[in-house]
Structure 1
Amino acid sequence: MSMVLLDKEVFWPPADELLEAAERIRRRLGEWPAGSKAWRICLSEPDHPRSGDLIVGNVEPLPDGVGRLTVGAGRATLHLDDVEYELEGEWSDDWPAALAAFLDCGFEPHDALVLALAWRPANLDELDAWPVDFSTFPRVANLPAAPSKPFPHCPDRLGLYPVLPSAEWVERVLDQGVETAQLRRKTTDSGDLKREIERSVAAGAKHQARLFINDHWQEAIKAGAYGVHLGQEDVDTADLNAIAEAGLRLGLSTHGYYEILKALHFKPSYLALGAVFPTTTKVMPTAPQGLPRLARYVRLLDGIVPLVAIGGVNGAVLRQVLSTGVGSAAVVRAVTEAPELAAAISALQHEFGR
């Protein structure tokens, strides 16, 4: 593998020992697509900070595109673009070198920081030099308490998971033997929403299927849905205690390591990992994850929580997605735009061994 670190200004001021350590780590991480931005770790404040600098220490104010990183006493905080990422735990003295290596692998700074804090020098002695021991990973700090009543469990492998726009689609898909589905109803009409959710929940009950409602947790509780699916932004506004007390399952969206750690704090029934591929069904907050990252997430989280791959998944790539070991894959257009629904579902189910 070519050593791309040698062609970049990785540390400021130059730090030969740190650069050598970063290169050792980076060499063992394998080939990864380069990130869209070259980051520089500044061990002291430069005279002229530039976009892409991560300055270690207390720096105010921060110019656009410049991050502040404070680490010490079991807590690490990254402040970047008016967002603060706080982590707590224990880590190796090698974290700056590991941070440089994971930034070079194309991870955004908050995800690269998670990996750097999980990194241990002993990883270099393993066949796989990535952090794979979940006990070494930091925790997201300053989160509200998880619900006192745990969310009910889901099967470890949820299988084919169509995300559908209407109750009619839910009925059609469940009639074909699909056991897990989600209603993602985009409407501001409260009457329409109530009818669509109640009709979808009834279809789920008829088929003894796992029917999740996207976003609208109050209506899902009232209708007695199997579960709800929420995005990261919804965790701050939804009443998770009410969802848990009602006995509904909870699925949470994630888009990288930091969001995975945040979501796990609330002990959800499953995690959605995405977007794996580019998707046009919704605006995504991050670039596509790709199969290599999906495989890493699956290896780290196997046995901890059920996982669903989501984003751009269709029949052409489903076999590759499932080869990562993920137990479920969400699809949208592979079902809703299929020329022949029964044949499309049969082909997709075949990839799951059904």
Structure 2
Amino acid sequence: MSSVIKVDIPEKSYEITVAPGSLDQLGAKMAGLKLGKKVLLVSNPMIFKHYGERAIASLQNAGFEVVHYNLPPGERYKTLNSIQKIYDVALENRLERSSTMVALGGGVVGDMTGFAAATWLRGINVVQVPTSLLAMVDSSVGGKTGVNHPQGKNLIGAFHQPSLVLIDPEVLKTLPAREFRAGMAEVIKYGVIWDAELFTQLERSKHLDQLRYVKSDLINYILTHSCQAKADVVSKDEKESGLRAILNYGHTIGHAVESLTNYRLFKHGEAVGIGMVAAGEIAVKLGLWQQTDTERQNTIIKKAGLPTQLPADLDIAELIDALQLDKKVKSGKVRFVLPTQIGEVKVTDEVPTDTINQVLAEMKT
């Protein structure tokens, strides 16, 4: 079963293709977009070992000239230094403004390749070929690119829409179980903020923590509905001037947790799971949604095998301070995305610090 989802942005609309076996159609899909012949494929060693040669063969069969570069795996390498190395390869191989960078990998590879493409020669084409669940449902769509600053996640970046997003669900078979669980956090997010039916489907499933226990039709449903939700929001608000801020549900506290633990203790999705639990509890204390709804949300988060509590040794005061470095801070006030009912949220900067403190203290193990 294949699906095509349109991301309708005035200056650059593009398609998300979700289809089993579509990795082998990468070259043909790109050829149909009339892109330049030079391609730099960026991946990491593990992903390239599994899928690099297939992707390159598909591109070469379609007439593209391909070089590749492997980034070290891991969030801690998501830095300007890594971007410099991509630039070096681009320069050595004389990539032009008509050339394309292809991101073959998870969210880290996608974010860095997108940022390199956004800034090389003031912007060249990028195609996203996500290989992790998190990248498939979230980071590959919408044009957000960037790298981390030592004091904060994704503080350096640019909006740069891809020319194509190609999702092959079959590549999830080689995804480590922990990475699958981390990606499920973003799926749950869409259910809470936008798609109540998706939330219901997640509730009905007995297992969400390992791919082998999730039926293929549910995987396809998850991918298409999550991408559709992201496409709907991005089409209405490309650069986070309003509505798009709701996509940060769970991320405000999640990013702070990642930063304070030096991106080593938690996967991004695991931190988002913690952040969603915190946002739900804050919303309950502020009278925005029901205790029963936050319990429903937390049950799904646990079913996905995601953490719901903070480490005992995490300093709450430091966590509160880290929130001030969030990109969404406006006039010194931290903006939170808080749920009001399943499928709907609101953005507010009127969350008392005492409430945040109380919730975080209650969440420590």
TM over 0.5: no
The structure, 1 or 2, with the larger RCO (C-alpha pairs under 8 Å, 6+ apart) is 2
Pair member with larger Rg: 1
Question: 1 or 2, which has the higher helix percentage?
Answer: 2
